Amino acid sequence: MAQKNILKSSLFTLALALLISCNQEPKVPADSFTVSGTIKGLDTEFMTRSIRDANGKRSSDSIFVKNGTFTYTAKISKAEHIIFWPNVERTIKRSGRGYFPAKSSQFAFLAKPGDHIVFKGDITDFINAYPSGTKANDDLAKINSKVFPIMNASVNFLLKKNKLEKDDPRVGVINDSIKQLNEEVVSLKKEFIMTNSTSEAAVWYLSDMMLRRQLSNKDAIVAFKAFDANLAENTHYKEVASRIKGIESTMIGNIVPDFTTNKTLDAKDFTFSSLRGKYVLIDFWGIWCGPCVAEMPTVKKYANKYADKLTVLGINSGDTKEKIKDFITKNGYDWKQVLSGKNTDNLVLKFNVSGFPTKFIIDPEGKILHRYLGDSEASFSKLDELLK
């Protein structure tokens, strides 16, 4: 009898030890993050994460899934907003040969070194699953759980609209619905930013809304200045700070803040003030940007047309040196090229560029005369007006 009691006691102790072990938080390396979850409806073999290396080159990583459960650990050096594409067909908003890359179709979370993030929720025709485990992700879950269903409804209306003829009377009704839903999303995000001044998630949302031009410069400045000083070391806070500084320093009539960078095709230092004495056309562009590439022949035409009065400076974002060299050599685009990099070399943030192409016209003394976003026909007309 005593042996049986000892055996039962040993089995109980072993079972208890296993239970405790299973419930313990996984030990996350100090230079990494771990994200895990068991999600109903995650009927896929793997999810996908897009990664960009220090040289701007993109690659993909796979997050393997078994019976709706996943665990993924990766190295990280600073705070990042990360997304996984679930590869669940019913969440992919297909339209014709393409698809709409809806945020509501992504697993989205914030990660820092040492974080363990856990997803909870399910998948219907969108990712109704949200992160927890850190204060930043608890906050992110609060706002994403409000806006993701609305975003999903909006893109579903868009899919319906694309199946109709342009003169179908239902198109107008659907457009009104889409507009109302999108305005509701923007309103909720703006309220979240304005009422969560200590939240890392709010800082990220401000950065994202500024990039998407969903806030006026005035509102962005007000929101930023209300943030708690304890956020100052946060990666996204620093990005917003640079963008706010860019708003204030690149207003029409200001002198372009001088900068020096070695992010050039020959790795030699370039200083912006070295261009003084001529008008300057700054062209923010990327090979990945169709409208940017479409305008390059016109940029070349004007660089040659006013060679004695005008200097063109290309500032590329998103391409590698090798790809840029090949592209400009093949097409004879021989003006100066600089790459927007990270930290102090992030010229996209320094000039508060929120879309491509973006062009600036600078006078010979370095004063900003004009700024153009998108289709830049007006910029070329303005150059003719100034330089003829």
268 and 185 together in one domain: no
166 and 276 together in one domain: no
Distance CA 155, CA 140 (A): 21
60 and 176 together in one domain: yes
42 and 141 together in one domain: yes
56 and 136 together in one domain: yes
Closest by alpha carbon to 335, among 282, 382, 289, 295? 282
Asked whether the beta carbons of 58 and 140 are under 8 A apart, the reply is: no
Domain boundary among 194, 221, 249: 194
pLDDT truncated to tens, each residue of the chain (388 aa)? 444 444 444 444 344 444 434 445 568 899 999 999 999 999 999 999 998 766 667 789 999 999 999 999 999 999 999 999 999 999 999 988 789 999 999 999 999 999 999 999 999 999 999 999 999 999 999 999 999 999 999 999 999 999 999 899 999 999 999 999 999 999 999 999 999 999 999 999 999 999 888 999 999 999 999 999 999 999 999 999 988 998 888 889 999 989 999 999 999 999 999 999 999 999 999 999 999 999 999 999 999 999 999 999 999 998 999 999 999 999 999 999 999 988 788 899 889 888 899 999 999 999 999 999 987 789 999 999 999 8
Number of structural domains, the chain? 2
188 and 322 together in one domain: no
User: Within a domain: residue 237?
Assistant: no
62 and 161 together in one domain: yes
- Which pairs count as long-range contacts for 44-53, CB under 8 Å and 24+ apart, including other chains? 44/86, 44/87, 44/88, 45/87, 46/87, 47/84, 47/85, 47/86, 47/87, 47/107, 48/84, 48/85, 48/87, 49/74, 49/82, 49/83, 49/84, 49/85, 50/83, 50/85
User: Within a domain: residue 234?
Assistant: no
User: Within a domain: residue 200?
Assistant: no
Domain boundary among 168, 194, 220: 194
276 and 382 together in one domain: yes
pTM score over 0.85: no
User: Within a domain: residue 206?
Assistant: no
User: Token pair 């200590």 is at which residue?
Assistant: 198
Query: Domain range for residue 142?
Result: 2-194
User: Could you give the angle at which helices 200-211 and 235-249 cross, rounded to 10 degrees?
Assistant: 40
User: Within a domain: residue 202?
Assistant: no
187 and 111 together in one domain: yes
Distance CA 151, CA 115 (A): 28
Asked whether the beta carbons of 114 and 33 are under 8 A apart, the reply is: yes
User: Within a domain: residue 150?
Assistant: yes
Q: Which H helix or E strand runs over 153?
A: helix 135-162
20 and 168 together in one domain: yes
Give the tens place of pLDDT for each residue, 250-277. Answer: 889 999 989 999 999 999 999 999 999 9
Domain boundary among 179, 194, 209: 194
Q: Which H helix or E strand runs over 204?
A: helix 200-211
Termini Cα distance of the chain? 107
User: Within a domain: residue 231?
Assistant: no
267 and 377 together in one domain: yes
User: Within a domain: residue 61?
Assistant: yes
134 and 15 together in one domain: yes
CATH code, 272: 3.40.30.10
Tell me 255's DSSP state: B
